[in-house]
Amino acid sequence: MKYKIFWAVVVVFVIAAGGMSFFSYQQKQPLVYHESLMVPAVTVDERTLTMGDLAYYIAAEELEIEEQAKIYDLENTDKYWGMRLRPGRFIKIEAKEMVLDTAIHDEIFYQMAMDAGFTLGEEEQESLAMRQYDFWSDLTEEQQERLGVEKQELMDRMEQIAIAQQYQFVYGMEHSIVAEDYAVDGEKYQDLLKEHSVKVNRSDWNRIPFGEVVLGSKES
């Protein structure tokens, strides 16, 4: 009887270990971005931004870096993407973190703008409309499909970003000598950031294959 109990325990242990191993394996696999749009990315105070909410930042940053990479080496853009900026930190990693930091920054100022009843002026709305048109038009159909976000959702998000950034300028001019003090890397913004609760879904964010979301895998 004891012999049977022993092997029953062993079987349960093996199954549990196998399940944990499979879960650990899954957690290390890259997410397919357009299939992960509703996955939480970061919560700022009481509002959660999904991976889809970060689509504009991801796409814009990937395309910008790829243009820089072409200038650096038209034949092999991977060289630029893989450049080391400081020990253990590469351009791809730094850019991905900047996407997250900027999204957090803009969400804070968007919430502040809404609380203040701030809206864009007529000229700002016209400028936004041009940027929206240009951005969507510059994406190829394949890149739009890779992104997976509906056009109107992306336009709405770009409007929120525009409101946030314009309000940052207004707020910065009211509370500092230069508005840039409240930019994402500004000293005064770092103080403001401490007043807010920010929780990053780091396990899933780390699995976003930044550099391949709209650009696609260069191995495929």
How distant is the alpha carbon of residue 66 from its chain centre?
A: 17
* Residue 157 pLDDT: 98
pLDDT of 2: 52
User: Mind listing the pLDDT tens digit for each residue in 42-57?
Assistant: 999 999 999 999 999 9
The mean pLDDT of 96-102, rounded to a whole number, is 97
pTM given for the model? 0.85
- How crowded is the C-beta side of 167, counted as CA atoms within 13 Å? 22
- DSSP symbols for 52-83: GGGHHHHHHHHHHHHHHHHHH-SS-THHHHT-
Structure token pair of residue 119: 């809206």
Which domains, and CATH codes, for the chain? Answer: 31-205 (1.10.4030)
> What pLDDT is attached to residue 57?
98
- For residue 99, which of 184, 31, 180, 36 has the smallest C-alpha distance? 184
**Between β-strands 47-50 and 84-86, what pairing exists: parallel, antiparallel or unpaired?**
unpaired
Structure tokens of 142?
């394949």
